[in-house]
Amino acid sequence: MRTSIEKYPEFIRQFSRITLPNPEVEASLLDGEQGQVVFFDMPEGAEVPMHQHDDSWAVVISGELKVTVGGQTFNAQQGDSWFTPGNTPHGGVAMKRTRLMEVFSEKRY
């Protein structure tokens, strides 16, 4: 059963906060030896400009994103996930308020 999440649980919101280029997007960081997990909270219309980094995997917790990865664009909704190979240009825009978890194979933040 899928449920909508209104906000991340308090313990996730207590993780380290990240300052991003888009001040509308909030992010909480879970840091590990080999990589990082970031919990993003994006208001409707928030954009993530095209960028690239090492491998990552993302899953939509709630909401909807229009995502472009390596020149292919798709809509990702709650429960959808995708892998972005390292050095592949990607970005997106929140079609509605979106919560996204992204796992990075590197220490980005």
- pLDDT per residue as tens digits for the range 4-20: 567 888 999 899 999 98
The pTM of the full predicted model, rounded to 2 decimals, is 0.90
With beta carbons less than 8 A apart as the criterion, state whether 82 and 56 touch: no
pLDDT at 2: 56
The CATH superfamily assigned to 10-104 is Jelly Rolls (2.60.120.10)
3-state SS assignment for residue 13: helix
In this model, does residue 1 exceed pLDDT 50?
no
pLDDT at 4: 59
DSSP state at residue 49: E
Return d(Cα 8, Cα 11) in angstroms, integer: 8
pLDDT at 7: 82
The residues spanned by each domain of the chain are: 10-104
Return d(Cα 109, Cα 22) in angstroms, integer: 15
CB proximity list for 88: less than 8 A, separation 6 or greater: 52, 69, 70
